[in-house]
Structure 1
């Protein structure tokens, strides 16, 4: 290996190390602050002053933060399941069926994704109030569903379009009904796309704050984002508890990502091959 090649390899390795360090440093600071006995006096020190789990005990036992986690799990799982079902059926419709204004429908679906969430707070609040869905977990799931559907439909459309029609026709020739063909032929082939859209839907529902705060009037129905606010007072914050609760919030997302990461990369790229 010549010196120029070695220098290029070393430069890339250093760049990767720097990028990973910058990406992981916020996580390190969060966890190290959560186990620091005196987070307020830590200052800019890279190392905590000691080790304690008292902040986690306060968050999980005294503050009852697990009830917020339970509510967020219910809302996020409901959003993922409904989003996967509705988006897949809609993707099949726009990819396989020919109807008037088909292209315009796809463009409108994509335009919805570009609307800032803050611009939708008041109209969705008024609509939820008229439908008696305020302070309702179902209402919150429906709101998150509307946020995740545009990306899910657009992504899954590429997967459905990439499946050869001949496979579906062969299933029909063998006597399969549309439902059997959908379950045995189409669904396994678009499964990587469902994984990618499920990750997006889960993160959208798990991390959202504004609508959860606006729609939920009962503190027992707060999600983790709103529950984290309880550790802030008017003039100060319990940073040890805040970081401990943030660590608890991060764990489900990390676990979910680890479980589906094998199919995530192919799910983000394979749908762009055709469509």
Structure 2
């Protein structure tokens, strides 16, 4: 009878010094980037809780100053703040919904159909999205005046479509291209029309992409300032309202109140990102890896 004896060999691995150094340097780089990105926001939060008189006394004295909620109370007491929030919500949601409707149909056509001039259209969309706002401001102002949409949220919504539609079409087209063609073929075999295929088959699959595109477009519309300042005089959006905050005199700028208002209007965006973070990651990474 043979006896087979098993011997376990322990393999010792040594970590190279270069690997450790690279890991340390990478960690330090991440910390520096995080500090660079988060420090302005953290400083703004701290400033919003400090008295206005302590802001210009230097960092040490400002940090030693007492914390207070007076700045937030003054912001909530300002009647134009609520009106600005309402106008921003209406304009941003309107622009996002219209851009998503147009973007879905355009992305389906550009992503799934072959036709002459398709590549040119895609490059034109990309070029339009890169145009600076100031380049189209005068012509757009004339159009809005002639359409009698000045100081009208509808006019501001249509002006925002200049940058929300190209962005939505470009992102959604990249997503639609990665949807398997077998889904369309199965729908056509069942007698579905192209419109039915889009609404009943393609659209449900585009959920993560729609959330990602809509949220990013909403953030751009929510923070937009130039068009809102130019096309609105009474029904101003919240960025213009905050920028026009005035102090006790024309020579005083209430920085503490501005910081408090800025934090308040940023909180909804942070909450939306936290709620839809899984959809955002899924929408941004879709199509990156092909199975």
Q: For 1:185-235, what per-residue CA distance to the aligned partner results, in whole angstroms no more than 9, with x for missing partners?
A: 2112222222221122111111111110110121xx111110012224643
- Give yes or no for contact 2:228–2:236 (8 Å, CA) kept in 1: yes
Equivalent-residue separation in structure 1 for 2:47 and 2:54 (angstroms): 6
1:224 to 233, 238, 258: 238
Equivalent-residue separation in structure 1 for 2:64 and 2:187 (angstroms): 62
Per the TM alignment, residue 76 of structure 1 is displaced from its structure 2 partner at its CA by 1.1
- Find the counterpart in structure 2 of residue 55 from structure 1: 71
- Find the counterpart in structure 2 of residue 5 from structure 1: 19
- Find the counterpart in structure 1 of residue 59 from structure 2: 44
Tell me, what secondary structure is at the counterpart of 1:163? coil
- Give yes or no for contact 2:108–2:198 (8 Å, CA) kept in 1: no
Name whichever of 130-139 and 98-107 sits farther off.
Answer: 98-107
Equivalent-residue separation in structure 2 for 1:41 and 1:190 (angstroms): 50
Per the TM alignment, residue 257 of structure 1 is displaced from its structure 2 partner at its CA by 1.4
Gaps of 5+ in 1: none
Gaps of 5+ in 2: 1-14
Is 1:210 equivalent to 2:226 in the alignment? Answer: yes
In structure 2, relative to structure 1, the CA distance for the partners of 1:273 and 1:119 (3 Å cut) is farther
- Find the counterpart in structure 2 of residue 29 from structure 1: 43
In structure 2, relative to structure 1, the CA distance for the partners of 1:87 and 1:273 (3 Å cut) is farther
Equivalent-residue separation in structure 1 for 2:72 and 2:54 (angstroms): 13
Equivalent-residue separation in structure 1 for 2:110 and 2:97 (angstroms): 20
Tell me, what secondary structure is at the counterpart of 1:47? helix
Per the TM alignment, residue 127 of structure 1 is displaced from its structure 2 partner at its CA by 0.5
- Find the counterpart in structure 1 of residue 277 from structure 2: 261
Equivalent-residue separation in structure 2 for 1:7 and 1:94 (angstroms): 48
- Find the counterpart in structure 2 of residue 95 from structure 1: 111
Per the TM alignment, residue 273 of structure 1 is displaced from its structure 2 partner at its CA by 6.3
In structure 2, relative to structure 1, the CA distance for the partners of 1:165 and 1:48 (3 Å cut) is farther
Larger Rg: 2
Equivalent-residue separation in structure 2 for 1:58 and 1:210 (angstroms): 26
Root-mean-square deviation over aligned CA pairs: 2.1
Is 1:16 equivalent to 2:24 in the alignment? Answer: no
| Equivalences, count | 272
TM alignment of 1:45-194, pairs within 5 A: 45=60, 47=63, 49-194=65-210
Q: For 1:128-184, what per-residue CA distance to the aligned partner results, in whole angstroms no more than 9, with x for missing partners?
A: 111111111011111111211112111111211211222112123234444443233
1:250 to 266, 270, 275: 266
Tell me, what secondary structure is at the counterpart of 1:160? helix
TM-score using structure 2 length: 0.86
TM-score using structure 1 length: 0.91
- Give yes or no for contact 1:68–1:227 (8 Å, CA) kept in 2: yes
Name whichever of 230-239 and 88-97 sits farther off.
Answer: 230-239
